[in-house]
Structure 1
Amino acid sequence: MASEDKAFDREKFYQQAKNRATENKKFLERVKKMDPRKVDDAFHSTHEEVFEEMDCLTCANCCKTTSPIFYQTDIERVAKSLRMKPGDFVEQYLRIDEDRDYVLKSSPCPFLGDDNYCSVYEARPKACREYPHTDRKKMVQVTGLAYKNTQVCPAVLEIVERLKKIL
């Protein structure tokens, strides 16, 4: 864990995210009104650039602080990979949140190893596969999610910082 702490300074990230929160929220509100194709092109190319430079395994803040939504297909796939019955998987690992979605009972994610590798990576939920959602189509529709993720993911914070210069 000590090498992870050197590679990713969690407190410094949180401070940067907090310092830029108001500006980023306003920027992403303006993005909603822009040409959706231009926004998608900018997000997608910037997403590619940032993820060529950043390694999620040095951080894993998403896995340490948030829970994906588990849909029925996710529950069945992860349960099968763990050789469990879906009902037992739900009982052991999940709860229903205020939006009536299945989410993890606890964080960090119980499938996250000390090395930041996921023990159910091949069977991980759709939300994990798609995180941080900065390469979706119709990004203008999910700017609120992008803003929320600037508070969790250093890559998303960096993507938004770069987009402020090009959009």
Structure 2
Amino acid sequence: MKDPKKTFRENQAYFAKLKNKKPKVLDEAFETLHEEVFEETDCLTCGNCCKTTSPVFTDIDIDRIAKRLRIRPGELITRHLHMDADQDYVLNSTPCTFLGADNYCSIYDIRPKACREYPHTNRKNMLSILPLTLENTRICPAVLEIVERMKKVL
């Protein structure tokens, strides 16, 4: 098994080279590999994203979740969220309040937009989020696998 620190340094160097790729080529490669890897991946066996990080909660997310929980948005914020240094609402603690012991999300169908889009490897303009994607290689085994496969095709 590879040393995670060494792998991260290798990926940093690789990502520096990706900055020179045409955005469309990069987007297409990520999207294709995202589809391949997530066909083979069961996120419920990991849940590391929910155990180690917090999504950003938008006002729309807060209103939707509070409505489902039958509480006021302010109560949701008071119980579970705080504003971070970037002035975004994030969870007070990890693992996620809504994550069960079985890695199922109790609010999956109304989860925050950031959760629905995670790990952001199938979106347009990947060039603009390469630093985030590099960090996500530390959190999500699927992202790491996407990057490892990317090294073979780009």
Given the two structures, how large is their TM-score scaled by the length of structure 1? 0.89
- Distance between the aligned counterparts of 1:17 and 1:84, measured in 2? 42
From the superposition, tell whether residues 16 and 52 of structure 1 become closer, same or farther in structure 2 (CA, over 3 Å). farther
1:65-87 per-residue CA deviation (whole Å, 9 max, x = no partner) reads 00000110011011111111000
**Unaligned residue ranges in structure 1 (runs of 5+):** 1-11
Distance 1:18 1:83 in 2: 44
| Counterpart in the other structure of 1:63 | 50
Select which of 29, 39, 44 maps to 1:52. 39
Q: CA deviation at 1:32?
A: 1.8
**Aligned with 2:71 (options 71, 80, 84):** 84
| Partner Cα distance (1:145, 1:17) in 2 | 17
CA distance in structure 1 between the aligned counterparts of 2:6 and 2:100, rounded to whole angstroms:
31
Give the partner amino acid of 1:95. Answer: H
1:73 counterpart = 2:43: no
* Cα separation, 1, equivalents of 2:113 and 2:4: 26
Of 100, 106, 123, 1:119 maps to 106
Partner residue, 2:26: 39
Alpha-carbon RMSD across the aligned residues, in angstroms, is 1.1
- What are the Cα deviations for residues 105-163 of structure 1, in whole angstroms up to 9, with x where unaligned? 00000100111000001110000000000001011111001001001000000000110
Q: Counterparts of 2:84 and 2:27 in 1: how far apart (Å)?
A: 31
The structural deviation recorded for 1:33 is 1.7
The SS at the match of 1:106 is coil
Aligned residues: 154
Query: Taking every aligned residue pair, what percent have the same amino acid on both sides?
Result: 56
Which whole-Å CA distance do the structure 2 matches of 1:36 and 1:140 have between them? 6
- Partner secondary structure for residue 103 of structure 1: strand
Deviations 1:18-68 (A, max 9, x none): 230011011112112211111111100000110011100000000000000
Cα separation, 1, equivalents of 2:73 and 2:136: 29
Q: Greater shift after overlay, 145-154 or 31-40? A: 31-40
| Structure 2 unmatched runs, 5+ | none
